[in-house]
Amino acid sequence: MKRTFLILGFLIFVTSCERRVQVLKDMIWTCLPENDFRDNQWVRFSYSENPNYHADVAGPRLCDELKRSGKVTVKMRIDLMGDLLSGFRGSNAVQIEGLPVAISQGGGGFTSSGLGGPGKDPLQVAYDEDPRNLK
């Protein structure tokens, strides 16, 4: 009985140890034609190191602001989340060019996905290579 509680306690501890890692990625941006009803503009950010993977971000006037900047690539700070049991689980855009990602309440968002093809997901690689990762 005591052994069961120890094992159960260990499993709860391991699964509750969420780990967050922040990374800074160079991204190539492209405005997407979709806007939602709150005038959030969707932008696709492709990872410079592997354009087969991208992140789609929506925010108020986001595309207009990026066009105004005149830059082809921008730096995006991304918060990576995971735990000891599952590993990398997800991510959130935190900043673009040092400015907070403004996602309006009830609208906007961040999705990260790959188109397939060669190479690994740059966020998975960054999470796995973090020196605080227990292996």
For 102, the domain range is 19-129
Answer yes or no: is 28 within a domain.
yes
pLDDT at 24 over 60: yes
Answer yes or no: is 134 within a domain.
no
Answer yes or no: is 46 within a domain.
yes
| Structural domain total, the chain | 1
Answer yes or no: is 13 within a domain.
no
Read off the pLDDT of residues 87-96 as tens digits, 9 standing for 90 and up.
Answer: 888 888 889 9
What percentage of the chain exceeds 70 in pLDDT? 72
Answer yes or no: is 85 within a domain.
yes
Distance CA 82, CA 121 (A): 15
Answer yes or no: is 135 within a domain.
no
pLDDT band at 112 (very low <50, low <70, confident <90, very high): low
pLDDT at 102 over 80: no
Report the largest interatomic distance among the alpha carbons of the chain, rounded to a whole angstrom. Answer: 66
pLDDT band at 66 (very low <50, low <70, confident <90, very high): very high
Q: Which two tokens stand for residue 112?
A: 């990260």
User: Which residues are CB-contacts of 59 (< 8 A; sequence separation ≥ 6)?
Assistant: 40, 41, 101, 102, 103, 104, 108
Answer yes or no: is 14 within a domain.
no
Of 49, 48, 76, 80, give the one whose Cα is nearest residue 62.
76
What percentage of the chain exceeds 90 in pLDDT? 24
